[in-house]
A and B are shown apart, each in its own frame.
Chain A
Amino acid sequence: MKSMIIIGNAGNRRTTGLQTARTRLGLPPAFVLNYRDLLQGRVSLSSCVQSLAHSFDEPPLLRIDAPGEHFEVERELIALGAPDADNMDMDERWLLHNKNVVHPISVRMAKRLQEMKGTLYHPSQWFRGYCKLLSRLDMEAAQLWSSPRWMNAPEDIAAMFDKRHTYQILSSAGLPVPRRLAAPVDIPDYDTLQEVMVKERTYRLFIKLATGSGACGVIAYQLNPATGSESAVTTIGVENFLRRPPMFYNVKKLKSYKERPIIRQIINWLLGHGAHVEQWIPKASYEDRTFDIRQLVVAGQACHSIVRASRTPITNLHLDSDRMSLQDIGMPDPLQAAIRQCAEQTLSVFPRSTVAGIDILLSSGSNRPYVLDVNPFGDLLYHSHYEGHEPYEWEMKWASSCTTI
């Protein structure tokens, strides 16, 4: 139970962190299958396994890690999601909400994208490409092994990565989630959003890019029913040009928009690429900041947790928020237990997954836990220990002793 393949970006913080953890535990290094090589056709899961066959005396542990923070990989995924890309067999269920990509770009255009830090290139086409890749990995693994040992099954990753899909799974399992304003199909644009808000008498919302991670593509949006004024707090910036389409990008410092034209433009862009729109539940506060909790769950058991406290509505932004522990903020034991239980129940509805970072808020006043997000790659947590182990060590320790996956 010791060999392992990581599908990731070699040399980044995640891959390096995991390898270091393996070394510390006396485990052999994992073989890293690079997203870039995979996407550029240099290798495949099958070719990798064939070349390594002699070193596997049993099916290896398979871990798909985050593809992010690598421009070439991002560009390749957008190309893979292009309408004119090779259309391999894939299970359309994986693209439940992503059948139609808004303003798709061709493979050629995608491959010509230039890196500009912070740019949000094409989230919906990117996600389509990523799902195609996940589907391909899933099929290859199924051909290689009778029961592949995925830490997180590709299908689950696709579901967790799409907030619309996650919402459906969690809400039908009866887990506490913020109320959805309406089905995504019923909120195609800003004007409809306004109508639905008035009809539902719901004026404070989070609009989240369905396939964004972290603070990326999140708007804390409010409409004042009395005065009609609006407020949108977000990391999304936009630049408009005379002769080419506007460019949307991520900023590190939160922006607070009050002007309708720009709010409308950003919301339309977000809804176009696919968004999940949910009620803004006031979060519990610690001193003068409000907070939520990233609770890691490994193999059914809640372990590491981090409290993210912020003076802004978007707590997962690094710049404006503090990382604390549940002990730091004096969280009573019953509440800690409620958070752990909520996180464990959340992961349990993804039976083919063993690791996820669950974002949970406690509602202001009643302190009831609500699940905000399920992050399949939510285990990159610094300075966090559980029973003396940092997250990667904890996962590897568990995986090397486990015979069930």
Chain B
Amino acid sequence: MSECKLSVDYDQYESGVKIVDLIEQLANNDERLQLESLIIGDWGGAYEHDSSEIVAALVRLKDRFPKLRSLFIGDMSYEECEVSWINQSNIGPILAAYPELTSLTIKGSTGLSLDPAQHDKLEELTIICGGLGKDVITSINEGSFNNLKKLELYLGVEEYGFDATLEDVLQLIEPGKFPQLTYLGLKDSEIQDEIAIAVANAPIVDQLHTLDLSMGTLTDEGAEALLNSEKIRKLKHLNLSYHYMSDEMMNRWKQSGLNVDISDQQDSDEDEDYRYPSLTE
């Protein structure tokens, strides 16, 4: 697959290079014709400049990338910008401009919106962040992604923007909403137990091959519900990596015969107040 990552590094930022110029350059290069995957990394000072210029440039140059199927906006490490400090913008216009897109990944939820949240061919939608806002969850919920096979949402913590309730989150998994969905990730959450309990017997599990509840504050309480669910037993893969389960619970998973990832156990003796999801800085 032809892939390209554009970013403005320290030296370039110091010398005034703009990400939009790099996108323009790519759009005028023959490589563009074969380009299937575009990754936008640090656009320089992402803690103060949002992604709107990038969105505008990509929309303006939409005809230059005929084979583009996969787009990642905001692929940067904590060294470049804390995830909660990345300023995003409305990514919706990208969806409208690239009807052939099959995969969209967004890192950072500050200032993020998805309007219109509609795409007929998108198969994968991933939002990596420290706290996903209710407005974005509602947009996805009320939007239309008929062909979505993989939905991976980092829910995060209230401190970094997670202001939805469990009910808001659960609307995403109502029957019929994503008929093609086989991978569901509701992860990196401070209410991971509640989510696990609610999802354990939800009808949507029947259509999934993978359920990803990793990186959150999952304890024995949520794990118990999962372990007791007949639906969960039919999954091909269950990802519970980074968790606060006890050794006893981990043994039960090992004996369950399920294909479950229970790596990266956190110190479960710690007080509840000190349990954090993985991506919260």
Report B14 CB to chain A, min CB distance, Å: 8
Q: Residue on B with the closest CB to A222?
A: B82
The reply to whether the CB of A41 lies closer than 8 angstroms to some CB of chain B is no
Q: Which residues of A contact B210 (CB under 8 A)?
A: none
**Residues of A within 8 A of B (CB-CB), count:** 22
Contact of B78 with A281 in the complex, beta carbons under 8 Å: no
Contact of A283 with B79 in the complex, beta carbons under 8 Å: yes
Question: Mask for A19-32, Cβ within 8 A of B = 1, else 0?
Answer: 00000000000000
Contact of A366 with B10 in the complex, beta carbons under 8 Å: yes
Contact of B10 with A231 in the complex, beta carbons under 8 Å: no
In angstroms, Cα B281 to Cα A224, docked, is 14
The reply to whether the CB of A348 lies closer than 8 angstroms to some CB of chain B is no
Question: Mask for A209-224, Cβ within 8 A of B = 1, else 0?
Answer: 0000000000000101
Interface centre among B8, B12, B82 (most CB of A within 10 A): B82
**Residues of B within 8 A of A (CB-CB), count:** 20
Report A335 CB to chain B, min CB distance, Å: 15
The interface residues of chain B, by DSSP majority, are classed as: loop
Contact of B77 with A290 in the complex, beta carbons under 8 Å: yes
Q: Which residues of B contact A226 (CB under 8 A)?
A: 47-48, 85, 87
- For chain B, residues 36 to 52, give those with C-beta under 8 angstroms from any C-beta of chain A: 41-42, 45, 47-48
Given A224-B85, A282-B79, A285-B79: A364 and B48 interface contact (C-beta under 8 Å) = no
Report B281 CB to chain A, min CB distance, Å: 6
Contact of A364 among B9, B14, B47, B85 (CB under 8 A): B9
Count of A-B residue pairs with CB < 8 Å:
59
In angstroms, Cα B156 to Cα A223, docked, is 21
Q: Which residues of B contact A231 (CB under 8 A)?
A: 82, 281
The reply to whether the CB of B11 lies closer than 8 angstroms to some CB of chain A is yes
Given A226-B48, A226-B87: A364 and B281 interface contact (C-beta under 8 Å) = no
Q: Which residues of B contact A363 (CB under 8 A)?
A: 9-11
Q: Residue on A with the closest CB to B87?
A: A226
Contact of B85 with A222 in the complex, beta carbons under 8 Å: yes
The reply to whether the CB of B135 lies closer than 8 angstroms to some CB of chain A is no
Q: Residue on B with the closest CB to A283?
A: B79
Interface centre among B9, B79, B82 (most CB of A within 10 A): B79
In angstroms, Cα B85 to Cα A203, docked, is 12
Question: Mask for A38-52, Cβ within 8 A of B = 1, else 0?
Answer: 000000000000000
Q: Residue on A with the closest CB to B14?
A: A179
Q: Which residues of A contact B79 (CB under 8 A)?
A: 280, 282-283, 285, 290, 313, 364
